[in-house]
Structure 1
Amino acid sequence: MFERFSKEARAAVVKAQEVARDEHSGVIDSRHVLVALIETPGPAVAAVAGSGLDTTEAVRTLRRDIRAGDALDADALAALGIDLDAVRDRTDAVFGEGALDRAGAARRRRSPGHIPFTPDAKKGLELALREAIRLRSSTIDGGHLLLGILRDTRNPAARALSDAGADLGRIRHLVENPAEAA
């Protein structure tokens, strides 16, 4: 499949690995790929920006969530009556900005070598191939990667975009019709 990736799509996968290393992640999930796509000029970032989403804020939030990892599930804590944002704010006030995130990152391993893809990231890459085939493209580019991520609305990247207020249908439309995203 990777032989069909365009130079842009290959660069996004490499950038996703860099994002994982930057944020001390032991794995690469769909959020890492999304950050890479948004931070790299191309049809994906144009579509996300064209949908009205503030890409700078989206990347900042995604990177923060990646740093925080999966150890603190805000929804699970809320079910127990714990407001994670309030805990994070109080921790920042007492120990300094980002203290909770740093504490979680210290426990995760930093991998100098290969960083594995999570099942949701692998599925996004597979769905990118299906999107390229559907659109009759001989190569997989960054737009196809974004479409693959958006196709499974349960993955962390699609949820993050949705939580940020993005209209996923609009983003899909703009990727498929790039002239409208400009």
Structure 2
Amino acid sequence: MFERFTKEARAAVTGAQQECRATSGRRIGTEHLLLALLQGDGPAARALRDHGQEPGALRAAVVRRAGAGDIDAEALRTLGIDLDAVRQAAESNFGEGALDAPAGRFRKGHIPFAPETKKALELALRHAIRLKHGHIGGGHLLLGLLHDNETEAVRLLAAQDVHVAALRADVTRLITADAA
């Protein structure tokens, strides 16, 4: 399947591994592939930017969502600690993202794909076949990510007020126009 990947799609897969390391992930999730696609300049990146996504803000949201599983904000609130206030104070004193991706937690070597990311890659192939494209580009990868409403990438975009169905339609239009 990877032999069909365009340069853009290969860069996205490689970039997803880098994003996983940078955000201290244990597996390459759909959110990491989404971040990597946004770094490009192809149809996927254009569609994501047209829907208001920016790399820095999206990365911060990924880190916050990943860290939310480690900290019980409600339990802290019962002790009089407001986690959002702590984050705001840290960022005002030390800069945006000061609490994101702690230093020293970067991984070396191979990082496995999460099962939902593997599924998204398979779905990218199916979307390329459906559209009668002989290659798998970044737009197809984005369609694979957006195919299932239960992926972390879709939940992340929905939390950013992205209308996912409209994004699907836009990226399909862009990759169809590029192929013509």
1:145 aligns with 2:141: yes
Structure 1 equivalent of residue 52 of structure 2: 54
Give the drift of 1:9. Answer: 0.4
User: Sequence identity, in percent?
Assistant: 39
Greater RCO structure (CA 8 Å; 6+ sep): 1
| Change in CA separation of 1:48 and 1:181 when aligned onto 2, cut-off 3 Å | farther
Structure 1 residues 16 and 171: CA distance shift in structure 2, 3 A: same
Distance 1:44 1:147 in 2: 9
CA contact (8 A) 2:28 2:114 kept: yes
1:82-121 residue CA offsets vs partner (Å, 9 max, x unmatched): 59x941322552685545435xx46x85321111111121
CA contact (8 A) 1:150 1:168 kept: yes
Q: Give the TM-score taking structure 2 as reference length.
A: 0.80
State the number of aligned residues.
173
Give the alignment's Cα RMSD to 1 decimal: 3.1
Q: Is the 8 A contact 1:92 1:99 kept in 2?
A: no
Q: Which sections of structure 2, spanning at least 5 residues, go unmatched?
A: none
**Contact map agreement 1:174 1:181 (CA 8 A) in 2:** no
Matched, 1:118 2:117: no
1:90 corresponds to 2:48: no
Contact 1:30 1:149 in 2 (8 A): yes
Q: Distance in 2 between matches of 1:149 and 1:21?
A: 20
- In structure 2, what is the Cα distance between the partners aligned to 1:91 and 1:174? 35
Once residues 44 and 87 of structure 2 are traced to their aligned partners in structure 1, the CA distance between those partners, rounded to angstroms, is 35
